[in-house]
């Protein structure tokens, strides 16, 4: 039913979404923790910057990433001096872009979970002489698991649905940057509507299942 290039595009999409989600767990969690606990006056500005990708048009974000990661941009000059070369048109370029693009989808649910937990469990753990790191991993993280689950699923699904940013910096290279959404766009533009429908149906079913999992699974986690 699906051609080899379709399967390749789907495989690449899943690889991109998985990599992005794993990186964001590592990068997003400390920021969510800080945002949830801080009383700094920077909380507002930093929170707003984290939420920016929600409102910026993806093509705008993609264009500025293209310029920033280009040979004359600050990121591009950094990567060149580190000997990595330029990031646009590479898989890791897409990963970097996706991390920016999906940032709020990771940070906000985790931050909400940390905030909902409150200070008391941590204070109780502190009176039992748990170190800060210990408190974080044995108290805060288990209590916030539903938040992490939501964040992970949303980040993954949002990256799967990413289009505008990838289009701007990807260069449409098969197996490297041609993800499923770009492949569908190509089909539509080339008037190959049959192929577009098939691949779109796969993504539609997949997205529905992911959201179904999210909405039916989460309350169960809450009860435990």
Partner 1 sequence: MKNLVTASAVLAVALAAGNAAAEEATIAVAANFTAPMKIIAEMFAEDTEHTVVTSFGATGKFYAQIKNGAPFEALLAADEKTPKKLADEGAGVADSRFTYAIGTLVLWSAKPDLVEDGKALLASGDFNKLSIANPKLAPYGVAAVQTMEAMGLKDALEPKLVMGENIAQTFQFVDTGNADLGFVALSQVMQNGEITKGSGWVVPADMHAPIRQDAIMLEPGKDNPAVAAFLEYLKSERALEVIHAFGYETE
Residues making contact with partner 1 (CB under 8 A): 63, 66-67, 69-72, 86, 88-89, 167-168, 171-173, 185-186, 188-191
Cβ at position 176, least distance to partner 1 in Å: 10
Strand ranges in the chain using DSSP code E only, listed in sequence order? none
Cβ proximity to partner 1, 157 vs 166, nearer residue: 166
Cβ proximity to partner 1, 71 vs 118, nearer residue: 71
Cβ proximity to partner 1, 26 vs 82, nearer residue: 82
Cβ at position 67, least distance to partner 1 in Å: 5
Residues ≥6 apart with Cβ < 8 Å to 9? 174, 178, 179, 180, 182, 183, 199
Cβ proximity to partner 1, 58 vs 171, nearer residue: 171
Which own/partner contact pairs does 53-56 have at CB distance under 8 Å and 24+ positions apart? 53/100, 53/101, 53/102, 53/103, 53/104, 54/104
Cβ at position 18, least distance to partner 1 in Å: 24
Cβ proximity to partner 1, 67 vs 200, nearer residue: 67
Cβ at position 71, least distance to partner 1 in Å: 4
Tokens of 195: 């192929």
Neighbours of 56 (CB within 10 A): 16
Cα–Cα distances (Å) from 162 to 69, 108, 208, 210, in that order, read: 19, 19, 16, 15
Cβ at position 207, least distance to partner 1 in Å: 22
């Amino acid at each position: 039913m699906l051609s080899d290039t379709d399967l390749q595009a789907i495989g690449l999409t899943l690889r991109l979404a998985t990599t992005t989600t794993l990186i964001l767990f590592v990068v997003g969690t400390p920021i969510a923790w800080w945002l949830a606990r801080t009383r700094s006056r920077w909380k507002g500005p930093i929170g707003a910057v984290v939420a920016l990708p929600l409102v910026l048009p993806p093509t705008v974000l993609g264009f500025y990433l293209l310029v920033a990661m280009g040979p004359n941009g600050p990121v591009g000059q950094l990567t060149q001096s580190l000997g990595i070369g330029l990031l646009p048109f590479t898989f890791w370029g897409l990963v970097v872009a996706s991390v920016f693009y999906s940032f709020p989808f990771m940070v906000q649910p985790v931050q909400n979970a940390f905030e909902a937990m409150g200070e008391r469990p941590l204070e109780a753990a502190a009176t039992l002489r748990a170190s800060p790191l210990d408190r974080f991993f044995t108290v805060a993280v288990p209590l916030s698991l539903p938040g992490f689950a939501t964040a992970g699923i949303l980040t993954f699904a949002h990256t799967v649905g990413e289009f505008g940013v990838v289009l701007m910096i990807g260069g449409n290279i098969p197996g490297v940057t041609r993800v499923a959404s770009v492949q569908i766009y190509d089909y539509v533009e080339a008037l190959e509507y049959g192929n577009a429908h098939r691949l779109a149906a796969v993504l539609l079913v997949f997205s529905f299942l992911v959201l179904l999992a999210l909405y039916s699974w989460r309350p169960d986690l809450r009860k435990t």
